[in-house]
Every structure is written in structure tokens, then in C-alpha cells.
Amino acid sequence: MNPLLTLPATALAKKIRQGEITSEQTVKVHAERLRAANPRLNAVVVPRLEKAMEEARAADAFLAAHGPDACPPFHGVPCTIKESFAFAGLPNTSGLVARQGKPAAIDAPTVARIKAAGAICLGLTNTSELCMWMESGNRVYGVTNNAYDPRRIAGGSSGGEGSIVGSGASPFGLGSDVGGSIRMPAFFNGVFGHKPTGGLVPNTGQHPCPENELSFFTTTGPLCRRAEDLMPLLRVLAGPDGVDTECRAMPLGDPGEVNLRDLTVVSIPGNGSTPVDARLLDAQERCARALADRGARVVNARVDRLRHSLAIWTAMLKSVDQTPFGELLTARRPVRPLGLLADWALGRSPHTLPAILLALVEKAPLPMKRFLREGRLLKEQLLELMGDNGVILYPSYSQPAPPHHVPLVQVVHWNHTAIMNVMGFPVTQVPLGVTRNGLPLGIQVAGPPEKDHRTIAVAMELERAFGGWTPPWTLPKGY
């Protein structure tokens, strides 16, 4: 494989500015990898490879005319973007059949910021229907497969991003996350992902666009094959856009200033309700030891309130003013979940089964006051455990990437990621090599609000310790 397929986006940008490689060469190599990998992945569902090549040649011409100092930070570097983000002139269905044939009129602010930073989009990537399930598949584009094993899930809802970045065909991508939709695809496909502090990055221009306070729990962030790209990309994406009422200016620290010897690492091995695979627990222990060897103080903790993670997440999302999911699914027409389910059983539904089931259960009663209180107390407890200079190590999921459709019978296993959204914590997903049968391992690193640089610094250190992303083509045949 071409070595350009393994470099960070920041390194590619530097080489382009210094004239060691051209943008055209860089985009071409990634486009060729995409053409080779995508037929078995179905990750990029709206390709724009010819247009990307035109933009790469224009980037090279700009560099020749104006010099490297005039170039933005990701000048000439290829990337991908989740299809649920508005990209002017391209589809923005979010996997909903009813939205076909209605291209986006303008770019989402985060898309515009990535373009302004010089990156060149190779295409838009697949998602679950309306971004509300952990397996990326819909009636518009079909199902996305895992970068390491096409029989397994890529995760959701940013599964197309996880799969194509994990395949090596894209240095980084743009995703969104309300219950783990950046971190689970990053975990299942062996790459880095970052869920920012709630309110750090605007969510404007997505479909569905989170409303009111829900935008605090929903976050937009990057998926990358190398950890060093996370903070530069976060700097590009962060900051108010004047539309998202929950987005505000926050200080962005420097990962390079984080001293591991001053760090408290709180290792929590699970939530007590969803058993965690022994291979993931072993990887978590290895992370804790590696950080301890570098001077960090490691504390092992059990937090009983995490048993209620799914109920807390559900209650906190229900407590904010938002359009019900069923109404989004049916374009605000009266919702008849049982009728939707009957149409699906007869093979005439335009919707996926997970979306219908969500519309069916979202009105189920829940003791709201109890779990809102539990959520407040849980956040206080986790902040107290971390103290002034701490992070949390926490499982990413119950197991490495499961086969397709298994999540339908393991419905609550994504509660490990979901709870961090309603806590408002920044969380970096870190790859930790692969299992004996070639499936990615990983860990979540969470921190207090506005300490994104701290979780990213730990991710960078763990990459140095364990190697980070393992390119699929480096694995022995038969994996």
C-alpha cells in the first residue's frame, strides 16, 4: 500500500505545502484506495471523486501562485463527510426515502469550515436512518460493512465515516454523536474519534438538526486514522455560528501542555448492567498500566449509578423540547407505529426496522424525576472522581464489532457511550490494536467539560504506547 494512506492529515498537508507531494497525487492515491475498498464496504454513498481531482489541481495551482504561507491548515488534503450534513448541491437524505431528490442548498457551517481549512471532500458517507441507530443502513443507500470484516457492523450513525477512515481511504471524516455515533464507528473500525464537550461545535445544517437544549447533548466531531489530527480539526470546527443556541465560545487547551505525572486516571470497568468482553477489559487494564508507567496516578472505581445509564440518557433527552422521532420519520404526519410495523412485515415500508421500533417505544412511560435526579448525581460523582486534573477510562461497547443485525437483540449495549453525551463530557475514542481474529480493540477516554485537549493528549500517549490504528492490509491473510 502507498505510504500516503497511513499518514496523518496534518503530515499530508505539510508535505503538500513543502512541495514534497502534490494535492493531486494525494487525492488520487486516496481515490484509488476508495474505489478498491468501497464496493465491499458501501461506506461512501455519494462519491465526488472527479470533482475532488479538479479541486486538487486547483489547490496545487493556488500553492504555486501564492506560496505555502497563504495556504490554510489542511490545504489539498482529502476527507469525507457524513451524508446527514448539508453539502451544497449534494443529497442530504440522512437515509430517509422521502428526502431523496432534494439536494442541500448551502453548506452546513462545519462543512464550510472544513472547506475553508483547505480539505477536499471525496464523498459523503452512509448513516443509519435519521441517525438514530448503531448500525448504518437505510432504504436509500443500503448497509455499510466493517472495514476489517464485511460480515460485521460498521457502527452508527457515522458508520460510513468509521468504515472508510478505517479502510485507509480517507485521512479524516466529519461525524455527529448523540449516543455514541462518532465513538462506536471509530471503535468498531479501529480509528480515533472525538466527541467534543457539549456546545463546543455547532450542529447547524444537519438533518435531523437537534433542537433547543438537545443540541447540547448532540455533538459534531472528527474521526481520524491518527490522533495528532484530532486537536487541529477541533480548532477548525469549534466556535459559535450564530444559529445553534447551545453552541458557545470555549477555551481550547494544548495537548502538549498536559503533564501525565499530574494526571489522575479513573478506570471504570463497566456499568454493572451490560457485561463487557474480557478482551476489552484486558485492553483497558493495559492502558491503565501504561499511563501509570508514565507517572499518572491510577484509581480503579466502581460507579453503581452507571447501571441506569440508558434510563438516564433517555430521561435527559426526553426532558428537552424537541420534535418526536416518529414525527421526523413520517414528515410530521400522524404517527402510527403499529401500522409502520405492519408495512415493514409485509415488505412495503420505506423505513428500517430499528427506526420503526424507536418510533414505537419512544412514548413508553419512564419515571422522569427519578432518572433526571440520578443523572445529576452521576455527573457530580464522576466529576468528583476526576478531580482537578483527571480523566476516565471506560469501555466503548460490550464487545468488538458484532455481526450484522446482532444489535437488534443486544439493544442496550451502546449505553457505555450514550451516558457520556448527557454528562456533556468530551470523550476521545482510542484504538488499541486488534484481537486474534483481527477485530479492533479500543477504549473511551472521558474528561471534564472544556478539557478536550486533555482526553486528546491521553489518546496521543496511548497511540505511542500501543500503535493506534492498525491498517487492515497489514493483518495476515485469513483474518
- List active site positions: 82, 157, 181
Would you give the end-to-end CA distance of the chain in angstroms?
18
CA angle 385, 389, 391 (to 5 degrees): 60
Which among 152, 153, 157, 161 has a CA at the least distance from the CA of 121?
161
Which among 176, 169, 168 has a CA at the least distance from the CA of 204?
176
Are 111 and 136 a contacting pair, CB within 8 Å?
A: no
In the sheet that 192-195 helps form, which strands lie side by side, from edge to edge? 44-47, 120-125, 78-82, 172-177, 219-224, 192-195, 427-434, 440-446, 390-394, 264-267, 297-300
Question: What's the number of CA atoms in the CB half-sphere (13 Å) around residue 149?
Answer: 17
C-alpha span between 77 and 273 (Å, rounded): 43
- DSSP strand pairing (78-82 vs 44-47): unpaired
**Helix 159-166 vs helix 23-41: crossing angle, to nearest 10:** 120
Which distant-in-sequence residues (6+ apart) come within 8 Å of 362 by Cβ?
A: 324, 325, 326
